[in-house]
């Protein structure tokens, strides 16, 4: 499993949300509070963020645990941004592709993370993978279920689907091919956030003029709201919409 968080709002230092809060992503890497599988997320981490005037995000990703990376702590102290996506990774299977397997994945303006696992990978994802071209498959950043799920989402985004639609349709497709899959997906373009709650915890926090969507709260602010299971979240700085997702028919 993994933990992830996305933020859109007024510029903040990365560390203000990823490091300093009592239950920030840093602490969730060794002591998650609502994670349903695994107890440590030490198999890599990453953060992607947006600079003013540049729609293409920068990323910093590493193979080791976030708590052991002193350079990240310096970076988190000084980098300020109005939007970011951060994730800590608990690998489903050992040894897959190091830094390239760490979220967030990226393409164009998009940052993406997958908190969950697909049982029976890779064979269970053969039917969804067949919808991708050879070029899309060859461009997979890592040999992991998360990288393939990202390719399926990106395929829909490039076809013109709205972010929420791309996530919802991908979740239904993968869940039909791999029953029991955990598919908490998180996507941002620096202005909006889309996410799914499917098999693990998801929460959101709003206002003023900001939104956070996260695997779990990073503090004890009473304004945090838990997202029901099998729900799509679409959000920006002003509004959050929750849409139920139906399970694939048997």
For residue 198, give the CATH number of its domain: 3.60.20.10
- Residue 2 known to be catalytic: yes
Residue 48 inside a domain? The answer is yes
Query: For the segment 184-219, what is each residue's pLDDT rounded down to a tens digit?
Result: 999 999 999 999 999 999 999 999 999 999 999 999
Residue 239 inside a domain? The answer is yes
Beta strands 225-226 and 45-49, pairing class: unpaired
**DSSP H helix total and E strand total for the chain:** 7, 13
Q: Which of 1, 2, 14, 233 is catalytic?
A: 2
Residue 59 inside a domain? The answer is yes
- For residue 42, name the pLDDT band (cuts at 50, 70, 90): confident
Query: For the segment 101-120, what is each residue's pLDDT rounded down to a tens digit?
Result: 999 999 999 999 999 999 99
Strand blocks (E) in 171-210: 182-188, 193-197, 203-206
Q: Is the pLDDT of residue 51 over 70?
A: yes
Residue 103 inside a domain? The answer is yes
Residue 105 inside a domain? The answer is yes
Residue 175 inside a domain? The answer is no
- For residue 1, name the pLDDT band (cuts at 50, 70, 90): low
Residue 165 inside a domain? The answer is no
Give the number of residues written for the chain. Answer: 250
Residue 145 inside a domain? The answer is no
Strand order in the sheet with 2-13: 58-62, 45-49, 80-89, 2-13, 211-214, 203-206, 225-226
Number of domains in the chain: 1
Give the residue numbers spanning the domain of 94. Answer: 2-114+183-244
């Amino acid at each position: 499993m993994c933990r992830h968080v996305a933020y859109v709002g007024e510029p903040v230092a990365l560390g203000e949300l990823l490091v300093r809060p009592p239950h920030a992503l840093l602490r969730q890497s060794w002591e998650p509070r609502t994670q349903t599988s695994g107890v440590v997320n030490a198999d890599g981490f990453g953060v992607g963020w947006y600079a003013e005037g540049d729609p293409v995000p920068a990323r910093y990703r590493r193979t080791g645990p976030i708590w052991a990376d002193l350079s990240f702590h310096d970076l988190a102290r000084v980098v300020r941004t109005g939007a970011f996506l951060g994730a800590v990774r608990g690998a489903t299977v050992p040894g897959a592709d190091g830094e390239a397997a760490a979220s967030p994945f990226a393409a164009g303006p998009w940052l993406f993370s997958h908190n969950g696992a697909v049982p029976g990978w890779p064979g269970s994802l053969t039917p969804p993978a067949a919808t991708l071209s050879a070029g899309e498959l060859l461009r997979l950043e890592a040999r992991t279920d998360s990288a393939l799920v990202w390719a399926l989402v990106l395929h829909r985004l490039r076809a013109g689907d709205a972010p929420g639609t791309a996530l919802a349709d991908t979740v239904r497709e993968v869940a039909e091919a791999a029953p029991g899959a955990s598919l908490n997906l998180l996507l941002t373009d620096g202005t909006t956030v889309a996410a799914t709650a499917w098999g693990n915890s998801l929460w959101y926090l709003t206002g003023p003029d900001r939104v956070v969507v996260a695997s779990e709260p990073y503090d004890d602010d009473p304004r945090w709201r838990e997202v029901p299971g099998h729900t799509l979240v679409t959000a920006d700085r002003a509004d959050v919409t929750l849409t139920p997702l139906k399970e694939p028919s048997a």
